[in-house]
Structure 1
Amino acid sequence: MIDLEKIVDYLKEQAIVLATAESCTAGLVVSELARIPGSGGCIDCGLAVYSPQSKNRYLDVGFDTIDHYGLTSEQVALEMVEGAINRNNASAALSNTGVAGPATSDDGTPVGRVCFGWAIRCGDQVYQYSETCDFDGDRNQVRLTAAHYALERLLYYHRKAQEQD
């Protein structure tokens, strides 16, 4: 089980301000953080961007990237997270795009597949990371598991970026 208080404490200790670009989780990452009193200082914004048009409009995800790799791809997740960190007042960002269900996507992407992106700003450098995971469960279980996974890995990638800097 995720310890949201521990995550918020880490964000506060490290002075991390987070922006999210959420497709599969539809804002659930920010909603989960907001459950913890005092988390507001760690959140710049949470964008729920479902359609290709909204991903392009708000995050500058290229339609050519979507056409070539598909909506559920690490390439799209990375363009989403790049847009999130560069277009907001954030020191870290995370993104996700995937298929929560109940049915497989039109392109054959299975239910439970989620692609993630993380971006961490260290001084003038931005480090980006991505992963693809397959989660079990119904639609809302996939969304919640993906939201928690994104937050847990944010801490991991923040530490990794600091080591690289």
Structure 2
Amino acid sequence: MARMEELYREGKVRAIGVSNFHMDRLIDLILHHDVTPAVNQIETHPFCQQVESAEFMKQHGVQIESWAPFAEGRNNMFQNEVLVSIANKHNKSVAQVILRWLTQRGIVAIPKSVHKERIMENFQIFDFELDQEDMNNIAALDTKQSLFFSHRDPEIVKWLCQRRLEI
């Protein structure tokens, strides 16, 4: 982090971002460094909503960015009855509903796609708004669990570090 702060002070980078920092790690980073990260990318989607983390980051001036906004389609996300019903109500796709839901929560999302049609569709989320009932119905989907793995599991942390070193 010291080198990143140096690059920030030199004007060589405009911001510092982190990924997968839970609240305890993020506050430790904030309290022990001069530059607060501008963004923290964490798993955020209808099944893992990170409500407490989002509020914590907001209080500390850190923008939350959704990693895996569509959960890579896990839990049959695109066929989920609640999401399909909301999508039909607004004449939108489930993906558009999810992106709109994230946007209304103040969460940045950068969905991955290589298909021009889907990329264009992902931008068409500003011509409708989810009402409170929609937001509440999506909130009820939260399991508060990752659909991938625990970033707090020491074996997973070791595995991630080894992968990073192989790159």
Q: Same fold (TM over 0.5)?
A: no
Hey, which of these two has a bigger chunk of strand by percent?
1
Provide the TM-score with structure 1 as the length reference.
Answer: 0.30
Provide the TM-score with structure 2 as the length reference.
Answer: 0.30
**Greater C-alpha radius of gyration:** 2
